[in-house]
A and B are shown apart, each in its own frame.
Chain A
Amino acid sequence: MTSSHAFRRFAFAYGLAFAVLYVVALKLDLALITVYPTLGVVLPGTHHSRDVAGPSMAFLAPAMYWYGWTATAALGALMFGFIAALLPEQWTRRFWLGWFWLAPALAMIACVYLTMPWFRL
């Protein structure tokens, strides 16, 4: 097993896992961090204004979750990537290569579905 082959497996597994995990994080609102740009505060986990104060807090101190969703998916995908890099070469050869582009494409469609509420306002 060469490092080149291991990196190849890592790269493909990372991209696939990230796409799937990002949609999961978005759907379940699993942000690793919540960023409050006006306060310059970063809190671990997902926090909504109603957790600590009234809904009006959202206007005073808007929360950002995109960084958190991305971090959640990246962390999970790193684990999948490292596992894939450690797997024997012959195990991964059976995997259909189409998943590596089909999964991100499907994840993008899922993101469109999850964003639909914006278009119904």
Chain B
Amino acid sequence: MTTALLIIHGLVAVALLGAISHQTLATWAPAHARPGSFFSRFRAVPSASFANAIVVLYAVSALLGGIVYLYFRVDIRPDLERAGHWHALGLFDLKEHFVAIGLALLPAYWVCWRRPRAAEPPRTRGALTSILAFIVWWSFLIGHVVNNIRGFGS
């Protein structure tokens, strides 16, 4: 059951990673990119349409992570402590903190993309998107590192 939840958590995270990376690159990529280039094709995609999916995927991923975290604390973390993986545990703690902060940013992020105002500087939207992208990438990579320390199914 835990392994199934972890795999679903990972799959949702992959989808989220793709969506947020695409949106972040599209946000910051130069507007004067050469026609037909990678960046110009990236910008041709309406970034705002990713916002709903990113909010839902982030929320679902955080929820699944919150459930799996219970098993991690009981079954995995004591072993990591005994093995002295203090750095990995520290990095994982940061993942917890970042995910919580990112979760609370979702309403503001959604408003910036779906209810933008003309007077609002695009920097706010870009910055919020970048922060979320950083959190998603961090969480994905650290989650994998911690998962791989013990090995799958061990």
Is the CB of A98 closer than 8 A to any CB of chain B? yes
Tell me if B's interface is mostly helix, strand, loop or mixed.
Answer: helix
Chain A contact residue count (CB 8 A cutoff)? 42
The answer to whether A19 touches B101 (Cβ under 8 A) is yes
Which residue of chain B lies nearest to A17 when distances are taken between CB atoms in the complex?
B104
A91 in the interface (beta carbon within 8 A): no
Q: Is B78 close to A, CB under 8 A?
A: yes
Please determine whether B100 and A77 come into contact, CB atoms closer than 8 angstroms.
Answer: no
Q: Are B108 and A14 in contact (CB under 8 A)?
A: yes
Most buried by B among A15, A26, A107: A15
B25 to chain A, nearest CB (A): 18
Chain A 98-121 interface residues, beta-carbon cutoff 8 Å to B = 98, 100-102, 104-105, 107-108, 111-112, 115-119, 121
- B33 / chain A contacts, CB cutoff of 8 Å: none
Residue B8 CB within 8 A of the other chain: no
Residue of B nearest to A16 (CB): B108
User: Which residue of chain A has the shortest Cβ distance to B126 in the bound complex?
Assistant: A101
Contact surface of B with A, Cβ cutoff 8 Å? 66, 69-71, 73-74, 77-78, 84, 86-87, 89-90, 93-94, 96-98, 100-111, 115, 120-121, 123-124, 127-128, 131, 135
Can you list 30 A-B contacts with CB-CB less than 8 angstroms, sorted by A residue number? A8-B111, A11-B107, A14-B108, A15-B104, A15-B105, A15-B106, A15-B107, A18-B101, A19-B101, A19-B105, A22-B100, A59-B78, A64-B73, A66-B96, A74-B104, A77-B104, A100-B108, A100-B124, A100-B128, A101-B127, A104-B104, A104-B105, A107-B101, A108-B101, A108-B135, A111-B97, A115-B94, A115-B97, A118-B86, A118-B90
- The 4 tightest CB contacts between A and B, nearest first, are A118-B90, A18-B104, A11-B107, A101-B127
- A residues adjacent to B (C-beta < 8 A): 4, 7-8, 10-12, 14-15, 18-19, 22, 26, 35, 37-38, 59, 62, 64, 66-67, 69-70, 73-74, 77, 97-98, 100-102, 104-105, 107-108, 111-112, 115-119, 121
